[in-house]
């Protein structure tokens, strides 16, 4: 068992000091807005993204300090996205990690504005803290592209839309899985990839190193999301003894749902049957897997097991991506392994 708390602790501590200093606003920032920003940014968290930035810099032979500015900037983007995701018009969450969400604590208008200000602050922070303008420009550019309409924000838009899309809308479970992966590659993956690249770039890493770390972060990000989906089932199963995970409860399909359905698809292919569950000839005979709501408990157990297998395969591929760093990439490898054991 990896003691991930111990692994991440020094990174977390150092970056929380940096975040605290970065969120003291000069005159001109209204008191309430500054408080809301600090409330959101300094909320308890694992600080996985800043750790990824700093570990990537270290893998390239740089220091943690080299990566402070991009680590703070990505955490600001992450914090802004959480504030906006929690809004009533979005996921409508009142609590995050047991604390009232920002709009509950400070009102909706201030929460929207705190998110908006955090986004510009991320760029302002890179601009003011990176003395080499060529490096600053590249870091700002990477962050802007990852955060935008084809990255973080695009993924959130499709994720919200996915709440009302039934699994049966897709021609096959494997197409549905492609769609789900595409959502996650943008909603969470793009920022993870930006973390790894920015850390490497800040440390003066070579293009080969930047690319390797981007591949690592891509696999890591998707594995992170799959284990998140699995936890959504298993933590509920343990606590409540039934399948009412938050995402699955909203009719959103998750990786375990898809794995269960896809296994079914594979059996069909083996049996020489049509794959499309809408095929009229098949509907009467086999209807379990064309609507996640009717997926049986056994199917889901199989789905969970298969999702875990997929996460393990992604973690293996993450390890392969950073082989070239040798011992310098060890911490990144440990952080990846932790995903397979996470319970929260």
Q: Pattern of binders to its own copies over 180-219, x per CB under 8 A?
A: --x---x---------------------------------
Residue 282 touches its own copies, criterion: CB under 8 A: no
Residue 220 touches its own copies, criterion: CB under 8 A: no
Smaller CB separation from its own copies, 98 or 133: 133
Cα distances (angstroms) measured from residue 100 to each of 36, 92, 180, 224: 12, 12, 29, 25
Within a 13 Å sphere around the CA of 191, how many CA atoms are in the beta-carbon half? 31
Task: Give the integer Cα–Cα distance in Å for 100 and 91.
Answer: 14
Residue 109 touches its own copies, criterion: CB under 8 A: yes
Cα distances (angstroms) measured from residue 198 to each of 24, 70, 116, 192: 24, 6, 22, 10
Q: Which stretch binds its own copies (CB under 8 A): 44-52, 126-134, 164-172, 257-265?
A: 126-134
Helix (H, G, I), strand (E, B) or coil at 316: helix
Beta strand 99-100 with 95-96: parallel, antiparallel or unpaired? antiparallel
Residue 116 touches its own copies, criterion: CB under 8 A: yes
Give which of 125, 152, 119, 92 is closest to 37, Cα–Cα.
Answer: 119
**Locus of tokens 């929380």:** 16
Smaller CB separation from its own copies, 42 or 274: 42
**Minimum distance from residue 297 beta carbon to its own copies (Å):** 33
Residue 141 touches its own copies, criterion: CB under 8 A: yes
Give which of 51, 7, 12 is closest to 198, Cα–Cα.
Answer: 51
Phi first, then psi: give them for residue 165, nearest 5 degrees: -100, 125
Smaller CB separation from its own copies, 185 or 331: 185
Phi first, then psi: give them for residue 268, nearest 5 degrees: -55, -45
- Binds its own copies (CB under 8 A): choice among 48, 82, 140, 219: 140
Give which of 247, 126, 145, 136 is closest to 191, Cα–Cα.
Answer: 145
**Residue 44 contacts residue 320 (beta carbons within 8 Å):** no
Q: Pattern of binders to its own copies over 80-99, x per CB under 8 A?
A: x---x--x-xx---------
DSSP state at residue 29: S
**Minimum distance from residue 304 beta carbon to its own copies (Å):** 29
Smaller CB separation from its own copies, 52 or 143: 143
Residue 34 touches its own copies, criterion: CB under 8 A: yes
Residue 151 touches its own copies, criterion: CB under 8 A: yes
Q: Which stretch binds its own copies (CB under 8 A): 156-164, 214-222, 307-315, 320-328?
A: 156-164
**Residue 136 contacts residue 130 (beta carbons within 8 Å):** yes
**What burial letters (b/e) apply to 243-260, b meaning 16+ CB within 10 Å?**
bebebbeeebbbbbbbbb
Helix (H, G, I), strand (E, B) or coil at 91: coil
Residue 161 touches its own copies, criterion: CB under 8 A: yes
**Cβ burial, residue 337 (10 Å; 0-12/13-18/19+):** middle
- Binds its own copies (CB under 8 A): choice among 16, 157, 228, 279: 157
Binding residues for its own copies, rule CB under 8 A, total 56
Residue 128 touches its own copies, criterion: CB under 8 A: yes
Smaller CB separation from its own copies, 125 or 331: 125
Residues that bind its own copies in the complex, under the rule CB under 8 A:
25-30, 32-34, 37, 80, 84, 87, 89-90, 107-110, 112-113, 115-117, 119-121, 123-124, 127-128, 133-134, 136-138, 140-141, 143-145, 147-154, 156-158, 160-161, 182, 186
């Amino acid at each position: 068992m990896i003691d991930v708390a111990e692994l991440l602790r020094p990174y977390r501590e150092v970056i929380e000091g940096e975040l605290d200093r970065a969120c003291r606003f000069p005159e001109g920032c209204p008191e309430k807005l500054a408080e809301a920003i600090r409330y959101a940014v300094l909320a308890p968290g694992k600080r996985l993204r800043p750790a990824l930035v700093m570990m990537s810099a270290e893998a390239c032979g740089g220091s943690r300090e080299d990566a402070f500015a991009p680590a703070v900037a990505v955490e600001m983007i992450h914090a802004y996205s959480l504030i906006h995701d929690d809004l009533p018009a979005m996921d409508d969450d009142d609590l995050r990690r047991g604390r009232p969400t920002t709009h509950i604590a400070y009102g909706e208008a201030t929460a929207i504005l705190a998110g908006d200000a955090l986004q510009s602050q991320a760029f302002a922070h890179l601009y003011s803290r990176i003395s080499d303008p060529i490096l600053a420009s590249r870091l700002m550019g990477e962050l802007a592209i990852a955060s935008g309409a084809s990255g973080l924000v695009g993924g959130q838009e499709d994720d919200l839309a996915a709440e009302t899309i039934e699994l049966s809308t897709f021609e096959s479970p494997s197409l549905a899985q492609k769609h789900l992966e595409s959502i996650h590659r943008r909603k969470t993956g793009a920022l993870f990839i930006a973390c790894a690249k920015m850390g490497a770039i800040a440390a003066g890493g070579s293009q080969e190193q930047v690319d390797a770390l981007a591949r690592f972060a891509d696999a890591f990000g998707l594995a992170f999301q799959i284990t998140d989906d699995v936890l959504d089932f298993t933590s509920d199963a343990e606590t409540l003894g039934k399948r009412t995970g938050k995402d699955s409860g909203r009719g959103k399909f998750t990786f375990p749902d898809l794995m269960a359905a896809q296994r079914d698809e594979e059996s069909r292919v083996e049996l020489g049957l049509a794959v499309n569950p809408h095929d009229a000839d098949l509907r009467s005979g086999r209807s379990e897997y064309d609507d996640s709501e009717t997926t049986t408990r056994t199917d889901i157990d199989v789905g969970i097991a298969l999702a875990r297998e997929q996460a393990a395969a992604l973690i293996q591929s993450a390890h392969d991506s950073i082989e070239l760093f040798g011992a310098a990439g060890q911490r990144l490898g440990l952080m990846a392994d932790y995903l397979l054991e996470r319970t929260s």
